[in-house]
Amino acid sequence: MNGPELNLSEIGWTPEFEQAAQEVRLGAPGLTLLPGRVAGVGRNTATLWTQGGAQESVFAGTLRQADVTPVVGDWVLAEPVPDAPLRVHAVLPRRTQLARAVQSGMQLLSANVDVVLVMTAPDGDIDEARLSRYLEAVRAGGARAALLLNKVDLTRKPEAVLAQLRALDPAVPVLPLRAKEGEGVAGVRALIGPGETAALIGSSGMGKSTLTNALLGREAAQTGEVGATREGRHTTTARTLYRLPGGGVLVDNPGLRDIEVWREDAAAGFEDIEALAADCRFRKCTHGSEPGCAVVRAVARGQISEERVEAYRAAQGFATGRPKAKRRK
């Protein structure tokens, strides 16, 4: 299905991508290669947003051999084929990436996201360790982060919760929000610059679909009513890019909604804890219940916060002290 003509700069195309595209074209004389943004991926296929609208594509054999699989948000170069889907020949270098840990290593979830909106709500415990992991993952992938405190109507002391969130990382903006009433949505919109791409992550039931609808000004994402269990339900299944009114893009990828940290160097950002760990009695100390743990000692002395140690332990893949039941299935 072809949509209306698209202005590529409104969906994230930049002079840097244009330059990268020119270089690829120089190496492929005789081929007509058009830019497209990956809006959804299947097995060796993708839906692309191109100048001519949404178009289906298949991956060229050379791309499959090159071991680069396009992901949502990628910019690719594709060759028009008469009466057939476009043929994708190249993935342009990614500016940013969001990934999650899987058994075999890492799984790339989306590319070229500029700002990641990390959503939480006060109708339950604020899971600082989890939020820290999200912020770490965003930073590691090269995107900016912002923290959204949704459902501020559910707490009597929003200021205290906002301060708690600000303390996680002073460099990350923190915004109060009532997505259901549309309050604070303009502030969120202002975090997404012209032609920029935003992604929304957070545990189930925080209000991501509600905010998505508010940002898009229509019922684009299904909202699920949360039952008395407060657990929320998974209501979104399709991975999608949405165009924001006025320019810009929103990525709503179910796998992205609740990412686990994947980082090349799981110790990055925790140098202080690593330094302390040198004094642990056991070289392979996990800073849990081992005797002679210098990290636990530092927490007891108030030198570092327990939350940061939990975030570090989670990033290292150590079993964390938090009950597993708290995590969404």
Ligand X SMILES: Nc1nc2c(ncn2[C@@H]2O[C@H](COP(=O)(O)OP(=O)(O)OP(=O)(O)O)[C@@H](O)[C@H]2O)c(=O)[nH]1
Sites of contact with ligand X (CB under 6 A): 150-151, 153-154, 178-180, 204-210, 223-226, 232-236, 257
Q: Does 285 bind Zn ion (CB under 5 A)?
A: yes
What, of Zn ion, ligand X, none, does residue 327 touch, CB below 5 to 8 Å by kind? none
Question: Whose Cβ is closer to ligand X: residue 60's or residue 250's?
Answer: 250
Determine the Cα–Cα distance for residues 174 and 167; give it in Å rounded to an integer.
Answer: 10
Other beta carbons within 10 angstroms of residue 19's beta carbon come to 10
289 appears as a binding residue in the annotation:
no
Which SS3 state, helix, strand or coil, does residue 175 take? strand
Binding piece for Zn ion, criterion CB under 5 A, among 183-191, 193-201, 216-224, 278-286: 278-286
Whether residue 242 contacts residue 220, with contact meaning beta carbons closer than 8 Å, is answered with yes
Of ligand X, Zn ion, none, which one does residue 204 interact with (CB within 5 to 8 Å by kind)?
ligand X
Nearer to ligand X among residue 144 and residue 257 (C-beta): 257
152 has binding-site annotation? yes
Cα separation, 291 vs 111, whole angstroms: 43
List Cα–Cα distances, 287 to 122, 261, 262, 325, in angstroms.
29, 19, 20, 22
Whole-angstrom distance, CA of residue 152 vs CA of residue 127: 16
DSSP letter for each residue of 212-272 = HHHHHTS--S------TTS-------S-EEEEPTTS-EEEE-GGGTTPPP--SSTTTT-HH
If one counts every other C-beta atom within 10 angstroms of the C-beta of residue 49, the result is: 24
Residue 203 known to bind ligand:
yes
Question: Could you tell which of Zn ion, ligand X, none binds residue 285, using a CB distance below 5 to 8 A set by kind?
Answer: Zn ion
CB of 262 to ligand X, least distance (A): 20
Q: Which of 138, 142, 71, 68 is nearest to 110 (CA)?
A: 71
Burial class (CB within 10 angstroms; exposed 0-12, middle 13-18, buried 19+) of 10: middle
Nearest-approach distance from CB 153 to Zn ion, in angstroms = 42
* 263 CA to centre of own chain: 13
Residue 207 interacting partner from ligand X, Zn ion, none (CB closer than 5 to 8 Å by kind): ligand X
- Note whether 295 binds Zn ion by CB under 5 A: yes
Residue 232: contacted member of Zn ion, ligand X, none (CB under 5 to 8 Å, by partner type): ligand X
With binding defined as CB under 5 A, does residue 280 bind Zn ion?
yes
CB of 296 to ligand X, least distance (A): 35
Question: Is 30 assigned to a binding site?
Answer: no
287 binds, among ligand X, Zn ion, none (CB under 5 to 8 A by kind): Zn ion
* 69 versus 223: smaller Cβ distance to ligand X: 223
- Residue 150 marked ligand-binding: yes
The encoded tokens of residue 280 equal 């642990």
Residue 35: strand, helix, or coil: strand
Told to check if 293 binds Zn ion by CB under 5 A, we report: yes
Nearer to ligand X, 57 or 209 (CB): 209
Minimum distance from residue 199 beta carbon to ligand X (Å)? 13
Residue 209 assigned ligand-binding role: yes
Residue 89 labelled as part of a binding site: no
Name which of 260, 253, 130, 126 is nearest 200 in CA terms: 253
Q: By C-beta, is 17 or 134 nearer to ligand X?
A: 134
Binding residues for GTP: 150-153, 202-210
What is the binding site for Zn ion (CB under 5 A)?
Answer: 280, 285, 287, 293, 295
